[in-house]
């Protein structure tokens, strides 16, 4: 009996999210029955004969472990297309290379991650790309920023580090209205960085977003064990599909489908193929071990996000009640400008908090130096709780005057809440605040 026939392929279409994180894209290994996806640690693959392979030729182009990861994340976001990269910034870079050309214009959320700001301002502006930063809490700001050269609207929601929530429904109405008057080659793409929320708490594709970006370093993998990035492409938007294209072999001859003896054709999603081309051409791909670790981390995504979201809400309440805390940023606060939108758009409010102390930077430094359970580190989204100073760490590449103009003060502190006992986390913060 053929090994491939021994195990039934799972139908995951109707599964709940908590089941999908465990099963989507994954089946027992057909050769051994191994329950976990194998780590295909190989550079190349043997062809059966000239022009014929078993689905893989070279690991820069594709790897079976990577295929499972991409299918898994695509399924969680509600698509069939995902492309993985060696880092989140490599994923961001690929989007720019795949979609834009010199003189194109991008509208960006104004307090975007510092690495994105550095990529745009120090790497791509010199190649003729132009960027306008807008407060995307208000859809009209996006409308004002759009020009005839705009080709991409780049959103974080919530933003890093001020936790601003974009009004996606109205922003997409503006983009769709603008696109209705444009030729295909001039249409505006939309992207949401879903790193903070993950598909467990937020599904951007339901708003018609074209692309989703993840730093899989963060909540997706969840254990501080790797760096990686993923782009998900909306497979529901017909505007990005070509007509049926004839599939040809390496000699340029049409491929015949043995089941019906007809020439094989396929519909091609131009967004997906553009990004796959960049992934393969540049080669910024994750290794099989990193893919495997990400798959393993995602299996606990739902229960981690539940715990981290719950912990964050309790820590926000503690901070709000402390006399030394001046201000707290968190989408779950009724005082948050877009609280009602956040409630509608998202299943929860996430595990990232930012705040300022009454004593400013000096007291903030004392707090960050005196906590014990909270690791002072650049990153977020892991099971370990982390504390970060955006001005000197994640947003150090943003000039001080630009940071301050956008509300990222030297006083700002960011928390990434982990899965530890929330009582222990609060006690640690309280002890450090008492030392001030």
Alpha-carbon distance of 240 to 205, in angstroms, equals: 14
Alpha-carbon distance of 70 to 261, in angstroms, equals: 31
DSSP 259-321: TTTEE-EE--BHHHHHHHHHHHHH-----HHHHHHHHHHHTTHHHHHHHHHHHHHHHHHHHHT
pLDDT at 6: 77
pLDDT at 1: 33
DSSP 137-189: TSHHHHHHH--TTEEEEEEESS-TTT-----HHHHHHHHHHHHTTS-GGGPPE
Name the strand (E) or helix (H) holding 193.
Answer: strand 189-193
Burial class (CB in 10 A: 0-12, 13-18, 19+), 179: middle
Q: What is the pLDDT of residues 226-280, one digit of tens each?
A: 999 999 999 987 666 666 665 665 556 666 677 777 776 667 788 899 999 999 9
State the pTM of this model: 0.93
Alpha-carbon distance of 51 to 224, in angstroms, equals: 41
Alpha-carbon distance of 153 to 132, in angstroms, equals: 10
Q: What is the pLDDT of residues 173-203, one digit of tens each?
A: 999 999 999 998 899 999 999 999 999 999 9
Single out the residue of 290, 299, 185, 284 nearest to residue 239, CA to CA.
185
* Angular region, 55: left φ>0, alpha ψ -120 to 50, beta rest: left
All structural domains of the chain: 3-298 (3.40.640.10), 301-434 (3.90.1150.10)
Kindly name the residue from 81, 113, 117, 133 that is annotated as catalytic. Answer: 113
Annotated catalytic, 218? yes
Could you say which residues of the chain have pLDDT below 70?
1-5, 238-256, 264-266
Q: What is the pLDDT of residues 53-79, one digit of tens each?
A: 898 999 999 999 999 999 999 999 999
Annotated catalytic, 125? no
pLDDT at 242: 62
Kindly name the residue from 20, 187, 218, 276 that is annotated as catalytic. Answer: 218
Helix axes 270-282, 88-99, angle to 10 degrees: 120
Please answer whether residues 354 and 412 qualify as being in contact, where contact means their C-beta atoms are separated by less than 8 angstroms: yes
Please answer whether residues 352 and 380 qualify as being in contact, where contact means their C-beta atoms are separated by less than 8 angstroms: yes
Annotated catalytic, 113? yes
Counting other chains too, the contacts that 28-37 makes at CB distance below 8 Å and 24 or more residues apart are 30/3, 30/4, 30/6, 31/3, 33/6, 33/7, 36/292, 36/296, 37/64, 37/65, 37/68, 37/292, 37/295
Kindly name the residue from 111, 167, 193, 235 that is annotated as catalytic. Answer: 193
Helix, strand, coil % over all residues of the chain, rounded to 5: 40, 15, 45
Annotated catalytic, 290? no
Please answer whether residues 84 and 291 qualify as being in contact, where contact means their C-beta atoms are separated by less than 8 angstroms: yes
pLDDT at 241: 66
Kindly name the residue from 10, 60, 97, 143 that is annotated as catalytic. Answer: 60
For the chain, count helices (H), then strands (E).
14, 16
Please answer whether residues 371 and 429 qualify as being in contact, where contact means their C-beta atoms are separated by less than 8 angstroms: yes
pLDDT at 252: 60
């Amino acid at each position: 009996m053929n090994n491939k026939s021994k195990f039934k392929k799972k139908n995951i279409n109707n599964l709940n999210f908590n089941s999908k994180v465990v099963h989507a894209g994954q089946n027992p290994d057909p050769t051994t029955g191994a329950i976990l996806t194998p780590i295909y640690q190989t550079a190349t693959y043997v062809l059966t004969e000239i022009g014929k392979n078993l689905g893989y030729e070279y690991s820069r182009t594709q790897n079976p472990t990577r295929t499972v990861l991409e299918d898994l994340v695509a399924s969680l976001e509600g698509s069939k297309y995902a492309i993985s990269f060696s880092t989140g910034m490599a994923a961001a870079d690929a989007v720019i290379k795949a979609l834009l050309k010199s003189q194109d214009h991008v509208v960006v959320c104004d307090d975007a991650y510092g690495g994105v700001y550095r990529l745009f301002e120090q790497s791509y502006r010199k190649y003729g790309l132009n960027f306008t930063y807008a407060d995307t809490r208000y859809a009209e700001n996006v409308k004002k920023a759009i020009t005839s050269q705009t080709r991409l609207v780049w959103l974080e929601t919530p933003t890093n580090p001020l936790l601003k929530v974009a009004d996606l429904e109205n922003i997409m109405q503006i983009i769709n209205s603008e696109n209705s008057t444009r030729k295909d080659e001039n249409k505006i793409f939309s992207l949401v960085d879903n790193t903070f929320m993950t598909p467990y708490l937020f599904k951007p594709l339901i708003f018609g977003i074209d692309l989703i970006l993840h730093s899989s370093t963060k909540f997706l993998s969840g254990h501080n064990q790797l760096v990686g990035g993923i782009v998900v492409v909306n497979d529901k938007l017909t505007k990005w599909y070509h007509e049926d294209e004839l599939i040809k072999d390496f000699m340029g001859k049409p491929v015949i489908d043995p089941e019906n003896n007809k020439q094989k054709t396929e519909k091609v999603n131009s967004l997906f193929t553009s990004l796959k081309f960049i992934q393969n051409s540049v080669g910024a791909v994750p290794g099989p071990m990193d893919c495997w670790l990400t798959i393993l981390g995602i299996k606990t995504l739902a229960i981690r996000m539940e715990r981290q979201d719950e912990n964050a809400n309790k820590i926000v309440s503690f901070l709000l009640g402390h006399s030394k805390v001046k201000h707290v940023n968190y989408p779950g606060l009724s005082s948050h400008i877009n609280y009602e939108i956040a409630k509608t758009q998202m299943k929860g409010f996430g595990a990232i908090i930012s705040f300022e102390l009454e004593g400013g930077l000096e007291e903030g430094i004392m707090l960050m130096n005196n906590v014990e359970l909270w690791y002072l580190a650049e990153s977020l989204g892991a099971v370990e709780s982390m504390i970060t100073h955006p001005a000197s760490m994640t947003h150090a590449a943003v000039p001080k005057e630009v940071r301050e103009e956008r509300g990222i003060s030297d006083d700002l502190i960011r928390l990434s809440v982990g899965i530890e006992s929330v009582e222990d986390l609060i006690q640690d913060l309280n002890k450090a605040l008492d030392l001030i």
